[in-house]
Homo-oligomer: A and B are copies of this chain.
């Protein structure tokens, strides 16, 4: 059965400190540590594009997995910061990694909900086309588009990329997915010239939508909180992760918070957490849930089997 064999991440070493921005934005340590929860955000090298970040993640994957690039039949890049609009970034990644000619390659444009969508997408596409090995990349560089004077966004976002190796030699298998969209409110999180986020509206949408969405997915699968060992929520901010956890009424140690050192990495936030805990996680069910740009949300139950 197709599932996640391994995940590798790339978070740039350069970090920008929010403690250096306290005066500029009139914020204090409590705001940094307990409200947004971002102490440092990761910053890509100048000139680094989305495909370069994918290549870095792939180099890290090669260190932890035996990869024969000639076996890769599918290469998907989830990004809303493509190298160009024409061609798709996955084609550029395909070229840089020397993937074979019979490899399908396309981009999926989604923001924070992108990894969960992308996971369902690549597994569905590979299964229906009888493919055995594929790569699902996430790669966003909000440092390209954030207005450094906008308190709503300048403290929050970090650059990162991840790559998930999909194969029949799975560590995690998918159990069920659920998706949602509210396109009428798309202007609450949009990039015309620079990124604009109506923080209050996005928070309110997420706090209302995410807990219900997760509970409905559990109910549909006849599962309760007892059957779930971890909830990996999109790391939007500490406040939103805490709020969803409280509304779900689940134990704090089941809901990791893991963005303090690099920020909100958009579609990379969930695979970063999965990767960082791949080897120590016991067998069992994990909930993934993500929400943001679109407005769009997606939740999944995946099961660690190895």
Contacts and interface: CB of A to CB of B under 8 A. Distances in A.
Interface of A: 75, 80-82, 84-96, 98-99, 101-111, 114, 117, 120-121, 123-125, 127-129, 145, 177-186, 189-192, 195, 293-296, 298
Contacts of A103: 179-181
A281 to B, nearest CB: 24
A191 B99 CA distance: 23
A interface secondary structure, majority: mixed
Contact of A91 (B101, B120, B129, B183): B183
Given A86-B80, A183-B96, A294-B87, A120 B129 contact: yes
A181 B127 contact: no
A127 B177 CA distance: 12
Given A109-B82, A109-B106, A294-B87, A95 B186 contact: yes
Given A84-B190, A87-B111, A129 B184 contact: no
* Max chain B Cβ within 10 angstroms of own Cβ: one of A86, A102, A110: A86
Contact of A181 (B80, B85, B105, B120): B105
Contact of A189 (B86, B186, B191): B86
A212 to B, nearest CB: 11
A301 to B, nearest CB: 13
A303 B89 CA distance: 32
Contacts of A106: 108-110, 114, 117, 121, 296
A75 B181 contact: yes
A86 B179 contact: no
A161 B180 CA distance: 24
18 contacts: A82-B109, A84-B192, A86-B293, A87-B294, A88-B294, A91-B181, A91-B183, A94-B183, A95-B184, A102-B179, A103-B179, A104-B179, A104-B298, A105-B296, A106-B109, A106-B117, A108-B108, A125-B125
